[in-house]
Amino acid sequence: MEVFEITSEEFEDGHEFNRYLSSEYTDLSNEDLYIISGVTELNQSKFEECLEDRGWEFEEEYGAIKKIENQYSQNRRAEAYLHFDSDEQLFFFYTDQRKTEEINGALIPLLRKIKGLHYLYISPNVLKAVTEEIAEENDSAKVTEFIAKRTRGTDIPAEERPDKERTINYYGDDGLRTLREVEEKYGVLPHILEISIPGELTFRMDKEGVFKLKSGSLRLMFEYVDECINQCLDIKEAYDSTRIDDVEITEGDVVSQSTPAKIGLEAPLEYDDIGPLQESLRGNEYALIDSHAERGSVYFSSKIYDQENNLFFNVRADSSGIRVFPRENRDIGTFFRFFETVQSAVDERAKAESINYPIQ
């Protein structure tokens, strides 16, 4: 199964390509369109070099859009169109190939295995907020499917057994009402949503930045994609604000100074939250070294080793938030994964914040 063919023309940027697809896609393909979004700290040249190192070939160029291909198994070939947004350091793959085959087999692994990039994490709160916005703007809008979860350590109120982790899979035209009900009753938040605006659009979105057009207006779906992205850029901005500087204290005496990012917490961190956070980190291939926690005026510190990316960083936490200090090297994937773990284990409403002054 080959990716849909586009006409040979030049696209100035991703917005122009999106406008082209919005008007032409129904004539180009009968299949669902997938848009896989990611974030990177690499420039475009280095990013493309990493793709080539993974066996991807650049087959055609249409201005700002490039067609890429990869023979990822003996009998299977993945294809997609790539747009790299140099301003925001975001990238997007467009394809109508199969989710269970070419996308999961070749595209999704790129977001997990290449250092310096990561899938565009769209938090459950953002998914819920965008869904409520759609419902407010469209009286006929329905959630027809969702997967919602309650994770260990969450502070979301729940009427029934708040100490239990849960996953709820739901199918039905009353999904939005049901989602609100199960959030109140069981304290769950959405990880995957399918939304239908009758006569206009049916699409799917998930917390790993994958959007799927099933039918209807691609132009309208792009509006909601942009809304999700805009609400997620604060995570990248917080990461971008971190740095490691060599500071000369006296002549010939240089020390390393680290500027952290802060993960602000809506609910104050309590001593009992530290255990679930440590457990979640260990479960996500982080090793904790020289950890220290104090009761009373809550304080937690640790050196953390990201086993997946072979990288160290430090954290210091008090009741108001968690500061993340880079050490010798930084990696955007490490920061995004850590932020997602904090939202999962401590506070789903946590927000990434920049700190504009150095702290040793």
Domain borders along the chain are 14-119, 124-238, 242-354
Give the CA radius of gyration of the chain: 22
Verdict on whether the full-model pTM lies above 0.75: yes
Mean pLDDT in consecutive groups of 10 residues from the start of the chain, 360 residues? 88 95 94 97 95 94 96 90 96 96 93 90 93 94 94 70 85 94 90 96 96 96 94 91 72 73 90 88 91 89 92 93 90 93 88 71
Which two three-digit tokens encode residue 68? 């890429």
Q: How many angstroms separate the CA atoms of 61 and 95, rounded?
A: 16
The one-character DSSP state at 63 is: B
Structure-derived torsion over alpha carbons of residues 36, 41, 45, 51, reported in degrees to the nearest 10 = -50
Question: pLDDT value at position 254?
Answer: 65
Question: pLDDT value at position 155?
Answer: 67
Residue 294 has phi, psi (to 5 degrees) of: -130, 140
Nearest to 193 by CA among 232, 121, 142: 142
Question: pLDDT value at position 133?
Answer: 94
Angle subtended at Cα 353 by Cα 347 and Cα 355, rounded to the nearest 5 degrees: 135
Letter string b/e over residues 189-198, b meaning 16 or more CB atoms within 10 A of that residue's CB:
bbbbbbbbbe
Query: Helices 332-345 and 271-283, interaxial angle, to 10°?
Result: 130
Question: pLDDT value at position 347?
Answer: 87
Q: Which residues contact 304 (CB under 8 A, 6 or more apart)?
A: 281, 286, 287, 288, 289, 312, 313, 314, 315, 338
CATH fold of 242-354 reads Double Stranded RNA Binding Domain (3.30.160)
Query: Helices 218-241 and 332-345, interaxial angle, to 10°?
Result: 100
Q: How many angstroms separate the CA atoms of 274 and 47, rounded?
A: 36
Question: pLDDT value at position 27?
Answer: 93
E strand segments, the chain: 33-40, 56-62, 65-73, 76-85, 90-95, 117-119, 142-150, 166-171, 189-197, 201-206, 210-216, 243-250, 253-259, 261-264, 286-294, 299-306, 311-318, 321-326, 351-354
Q: How many angstroms separate the CA atoms of 281 and 342, rounded?
A: 9
Nearest to 1 by CA among 110, 109, 108, 99: 99
Q: How many angstroms separate the CA atoms of 23 and 92, rounded?
A: 19
Burial (0-12, 13-18, 19+ Cβ within 10 Å), 307: exposed
Beta-bridged to residue 82, according to DSSP, are 66, 93
Q: How many angstroms separate the CA atoms of 151 and 145, rounded?
A: 20
Question: pLDDT value at position 328?
Answer: 79
Question: pLDDT value at position 360?
Answer: 41
